[in-house]
Amino acid sequence: MTAVFSIFLLTLLIITAIAIVRISNLFAAVMLSGIFSLLLAANFFVLDAADVALTEAAVGAGISTVLFLSALAMTAEHERSVSTNRGIALIVVITTTIAIIYATFDKPAFGDPAAPIHQHVAPWYLDTTRYAIEIPNVVTAVLGTFRGYDTLGEVFVVFTAGIGVMFLLSARSGSKRQRLPQASEGLRHYLVPRVVGRMLIPFILLFALYVQFHGEYSPGGGFQAGAIFAAAIILYALLEGEDRALVALPRSWLTTMMVGGALLYGGVGVVCMLLGGNFLDYSVLSSNPVAGQQLGILLIEAGVGITVTGVLLNIYHAFAARDKF
Amino acid sequence: MTLATIVDIASWLLMSAGGLFVLIGGIGALRMPDLYTRMHAASVTDSIAPILIITGIVLQAGFTLASIKLIAILLFLLLTGPTATNALASAALLAGNRTEQATPYTSKDD
Amino acid sequence: MALLELYHYWAFAVLLMIGFYAVIAKLNLIKKLIGLSLFQAAVFLLYISMGKVEGGTAPIFMDGVDEQLYSNPLPQVLILTAIVVGISTLALGLGIVVRIKEEYGSIEENEIQEIDQR
């Protein structure tokens, strides 16, 4: 039964992808890519990846749509030119698709517990989490402890991308711009979205905190919570206007959050070293190694959440501030 | 017939009815002549359909934490769905989309 | 039935190549970025599909359940971070596109090349 459902969802994904590529109105393409992300999240959930589904829904369907729309507002709504070498591109693409599909026949059967991927480290992660970390969500345990270095690297990639966008978009452009009153006021004239939005935003923030601090027990963690928190503030900015969102969370705070979260993560690692352990070896943080691991995961997840919120909001404000012409 | 069986049948009936309404909403969104009637048809999928489907799932879950979460999701959907429809309609109206301009069916009769 | 189970990998191949087609055959820079994110999504799908174990459940331990098969947590961790890194790099790409629009007045590749060759 699940197989039928999967096939249905995957077929919808492919149809949506073809529609995205074919449609020449970029606005419609962006909306369709939001639908694509939501379908992808449903697919991830069917494939047992609850954490990934939550992230994809918050990031792909929420924040990336907003970013695309704010970029579209500054560029163009339609694509104009048609490529001259579409035939060659189509031949290349179809040949490669056939080659990849041919290669899939050598893959282990889908969902086979004896497949090589399930033999090496995954059983060890599952076993060790049970007695050394003692938190139910293995994904959070792997993210925070076993692959802590990797996650630290990812946080710094996010941080670097945030700095890059700020550098690119804070430069003054050639033409002088005047701001329209609409851009700074958001949807303040529209009563219904505003009232419902104001009612829901506190609960979205509360949900973000739940996802952040309950991430050890249920799907969730810093990345997802950061995305949801940023989405709540972006909703506020869309409803009440840029300026009020910046009053609520000023730019200096956001930049401090960007830096502070990454520093918190790195700092936990350094403290571990000062206490006599290895870098990011949380066992030394407390007299009880298991409690130390749990404290370490809580702290670094907080660092991840703070950085992701800061970066995503800074990126949004960088785009939105440029929008006023 | 035990109580469990009755609850089971009721929940399946509710969920099937909800699925039917989603289908009707989808057909309506494709077949209706202009934006506003399409939205009217599509709004079935985010008002009555989630009420029926989630009530059905709650009956399956019984008195557990999952039910409370499901009811929270239902409340969220019932607040956001109509709001989104309202925002879409007012945006379309603002962009100058009038019903008279986009009705192929009435213009044929004239 | 064995063929049907490979459908996840076929969907991956088709999605990957749809994204790739948008990157190489479309001239609009935003369309290229959308294509790139489709390409990325296809890779996510491949990883998560490989981590699925038949009869398994999400790798979150439940109280009082011992003999339960869990899906592989490792691909999930990799993709979880990749999604967030993906949105950050996408934002960087969009930032570059916005700057190109401001300098060249166009986001179509051929028009930008014409301006460059002048």
Q: Tens digits of per-residue pLDDT, A168-218? A: 887 665 444 444 444 556 677 778 888 898 899 999 999 999 999 998 888
Does B106 have pLDDT greater than 80? no
Q: For A107-146, how does the pLDDT look when each residue is reduced to its tens digit (9 = 90+)? A: 888 888 888 888 888 889 988 888 888 889 999 999 988 9
| Nearest CA-CA partner of A61 in A43, A36, A26 | A36
Q: Which residues of C touch A322 (CB under 8 A)?
A: 98
CA–CA gap between residue C60 and residue A50 (Å, rounded): 9
So what's the pLDDT on residue A268? 93
| Nearest CA-CA partner of A219 in A130, A126, A137 | A137
Q: Stretch C17-46: mean pLDDT, rounded?
A: 94
**Over chain A, what is the mean pLDDT?**
88
- Which residue carries 């301006």 as its tokens? C115
Q: Where are the alpha helices (DSSP H) in A75-178?
A: 86-104, 122-128, 138-141, 148-170
Does B110 have pLDDT greater than 60? no
Whether residue C99 contacts residue A174, with contact meaning beta carbons closer than 8 Å, is answered with no
Size of interface A-C (CB pairs under 8 A): 305
Q: Where are the alpha helices (DSSP H) in chain A?
A: 2-22, 26-46, 50-56, 64-74, 86-104, 122-128, 138-141, 148-170, 181-185, 191-213, 222-240, 242-248, 251-274, 289-322
Which among C11, C31, C55 has CB closest to A79? C31
CA closest to A136 among chain C residues: C61
Token digits of residue A7: 């096939």
What contacts A22, CB < 8 A, 6 or more positions away? none
Residues 63-82 of chain B whose Cβ lies under 8 A from any Cβ of chain A = 76, 79-80
Interface test mutation site (partner C, options A33, A96, A101, A110, max chain C beta carbons within 10 A): A110
So what's the pLDDT on residue B99? 65
Chain A contact for B107 (CB, 8 A cutoff)? no
- Bigger pLDDT: A186 or C117? C117
Q: Which residues of A touch B86 (CB under 8 A)?
A: 192-193
Does B102 have pLDDT greater than 60? no
So what's the pLDDT on residue B104? 47
Chain A contact for C113 (CB, 8 A cutoff)? no
Chain A contact for C51 (CB, 8 A cutoff)? yes
Question: What percentage of chain A exceeds 90 in pLDDT?
Answer: 51
Does the predicted TM-score (pTM) go above 0.95?
A: no
CA–CA gap between residue C59 and residue C45 (Å, rounded): 17
Interface test mutation site (partner B, options A196, A198, A204, A210, max chain B beta carbons within 10 A): A196
Cβ-in-10-Å burial (0-12, 13-18, 19+) of A288 comes to exposed
Q: Stretch A161-170: mean pLDDT, rounded?
A: 90
Confidence of residue C82 (pLDDT cuts 50, 70, 90): very high
- Which residue carries 């939105």 as its tokens? A320
The Cα angle at residue C48 between residues C45 and C53, in degrees rounded to 5: 135
Chain B closest CA to A198's CA: distance in Å? 12
CA–CA gap between residue C102 and residue A85 (Å, rounded): 27
Residue C60 dihedral angles phi and psi, to the nearest 5°:
-125, 120
Chain A contact for B23 (CB, 8 A cutoff)? no
CA–CA gap between residue C15 and residue A250 (Å, rounded): 40
Q: Is the Cα torsion angle A246, A248, A250, A254 positive or negative in sign?
A: negative
Whether residue A89 contacts residue C25, with contact meaning beta carbons closer than 8 Å, is answered with yes
Which among A26, A37, A308 has CB closest to C30? A26
So what's the pLDDT on residue A122? 87
Q: Which residues of B touch A192 (CB under 8 A)?
A: 83, 86-87
Query: What b/e sequence results for A106-126 when a residue is b if at least 16 CB atoms lie within 10 Å of its CB, and e otherwise?
Result: eeeebbeeebebbeebbeebb
Interface test mutation site (partner A, options B75, B90, B93, B94, max chain A beta carbons within 10 A): B90
Whether residue A323 contacts residue A183, with contact meaning beta carbons closer than 8 Å, is answered with yes
Partners of C70 in beta bridges:
C57
So what's the pLDDT on residue C21? 94
Residues 27-66 of chain A whose Cβ lies under 8 A from any Cβ of chain C = 29-30, 33, 36-37, 40, 43-44, 47-52, 55-56, 59-60, 63-64
Question: What percentage of chain A exceeds 70 in pLDDT?
Answer: 94
CA–CA gap between residue A277 and residue C117 (Å, rounded): 59
Flag if B83 and A192 touch (Cβ within 8 Å). yes
Partners of C60 in beta bridges:
A137
Q: Which residues of B touch A61 (CB under 8 A)?
A: none
Q: Which residues of B touch A187 (CB under 8 A)?
A: 87
